[in-house]
């Protein structure tokens, strides 16, 4: 019995540790672009892509995601926004690119989830 509990624990840890369909980015360095690619699991059903941004910047930043062609969002100032909530059915990987654009200072937390 203990053997099965141990195996279940290990398998659930591996499943939780391999989270490739959601990501949290914390941006404090506004000197370069950052990108993250989310890959859908083949057997998991998906319905929505969500991008939420929270924090502040001293000027405009650009966020780009490539779900159905390139989509640019320009935001600035104090942010606590759900930026994107769109249909997504797991058909391809999604890449989110953070571009500091005109901003030089701030702290941004970006949460992206399939």
13-63 residue pLDDT tens: 555 545 788 999 999 999 999 999 999 888 888 888 899 999 999 999 999
Residue range(s) defining the domain that contains residue 82? 20-113
**What are the tens digits of pLDDT across the range 73-92?**
999 999 998 888 888 888 88
Report the number of distinct structural domains present in the chain: 1
Q: Is residue 107 part of a domain?
A: yes
Task: Answer yes or no: are the C-beta atoms of 82 and 61 closer than 8 Å.
Answer: no
Task: Answer whether residue 108 is part of any domain.
Answer: yes
Q: pTM to 2 decimals?
A: 0.78
Nearest to 111 by CA among 18, 21, 16: 21
């Amino acid at each position: 019995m203990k053997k099965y509990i141990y195996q279940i624990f290990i398998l659930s840890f591996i499943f939780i540790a391999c989270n490739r369909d959601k990501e949290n980015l914390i941006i404090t360095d506004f000197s370069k672009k950052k990108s993250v690619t989310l890959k859908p699991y083949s057997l998991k059903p998906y319905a929505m892509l969500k991008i939420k941004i929270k924090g502040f910047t001293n000027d405009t930043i650009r966020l780009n995601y490539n779900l159905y062609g390139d989509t640019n969002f320009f935001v600035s100032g104090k942010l606590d926004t759900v930026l994107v909530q769109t249909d997504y059915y797991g058909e391809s990987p999604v890449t989110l690119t953070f571009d500091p654009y005109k901003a030089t200072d701030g702290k941004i937390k970006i949460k992206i989830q399939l």
